[in-house]
Structure 1
Amino acid sequence: MVLDCADREALAAFWAQVLGYRITRETPPYIALTDPAGRDPELLLQQVPEPKQGKNRMHVDLRVPAMEPELSRVVGLGARVLRGPFDDEGCLTTVLADPEGNEFCLIVFSST
């Protein structure tokens, strides 16, 4: 996965903390973030000159066991709540933006 950004170092620090990933290499214009357990895909942050415009067509959904502790944690890291929490067909969901405005969601899947 590749995420365009204006400041790859700042966004790498944010996403590394959110995902629990490590910065594994930096080859401008990219910074690679990798899951230390090797379970999840690598995230590349690509620095680009143009600003983000409009809604993301693709975004990250993060499954969490409970909304409130994770929502407080990511907001404390610099995320901004755009919508929610709300019930999205049985899944408690919050839509957020990272420090550069890229949308992502926290989702609690019901056990039923």
Structure 2
Amino acid sequence: MASHWTLGCDAVEPRALAAFWATALGYVEEAGYDFPDGASIVDPDGRGPAIGFLRVPEGKSAKNRMHIDIRVAGEGPWDMEKRERMIRAKVAELVAAGAAAVREEADGDVLGHVVMHDPEGNEFCVA
């Protein structure tokens, strides 16, 4: 049986970063979590892990060693035109929520994923 787990993240502004990731992932604020220097979000369907954000004094200084990839297109096989439209729509939504698109990765004419930064500069991908 798999273990329940939480992804822990450092943040300068934990509540703001948690709000961004709740939007990005369709998560909600964890009920009853009341730590003044942190925030926690959970999958409302109870399937995905919780994600906790704790305030740290230092800012981000290097590339993430681990990051979240948002898979809007789900599992293959894919209609590649539809998949690209889904990726681009999610990227636009996340840019409006405070993220930055960094670059697109493609295999020839086929969009693979878009590398992005969240509001605190953490890398993640939309595929």
More strand per residue: 1
Q: Is the 8 A contact 1:87 1:93 kept in 2?
A: no
Q: Provide the residue aligned with 1:53 in structure 2.
A: 61
Q: How many pairs does the alignment contain?
A: 106
Q: Which residue of structure 2 aligns with residue 62 of structure 1? A: 70
Residue 36 of structure 1 aligns with which residue? 44
**Bigger Rg, structure 1 or 2:** 2
Cα deviation, residue 80, structure 1 = 0.3
Identity rate of aligned residues, in percent? 41
User: Gaps (5+ residues) in structure 1?
Assistant: 108-112
- Secondary structure (helix, strand or coil) at the match of 1:33 reads strand
Query: How big is the shift at 1:91?
Result: 6.5
Inter-partner Cα distance in structure 1 for 2:9 and 2:90:
22
Question: TM (normalized to structure 2)?
Answer: 0.77
* In 2, Cα distance between equivalents of 1:64 and 1:86: 16
Separation in 1, partners of 2:29, 2:45: 13
Distance 1:70 1:61 in 2: 12
2:103 partner amino acid: R
Map 1:72-87 onto structure 2 (within 5 A). Answer: 72-87=92-107
Letter in 2 for 1:59: H
Within 1, Cα distance between the matches of 2:90 and 2:118?
Answer: 14
Pairwise CA distance, 1:86: 2.6
> How far apart in 2 are the matches of 1:12 and 1:20?
11
The yes-or-no answer on 1:3 pairing with 2:2 is no
Please give the TM-score of this superposition, normalised by the length of structure 1.
0.86
Gaps of 5+ in 2: 1-6, 74-85
- 2:104–2:111 Cα contact (<8 Å) kept: no
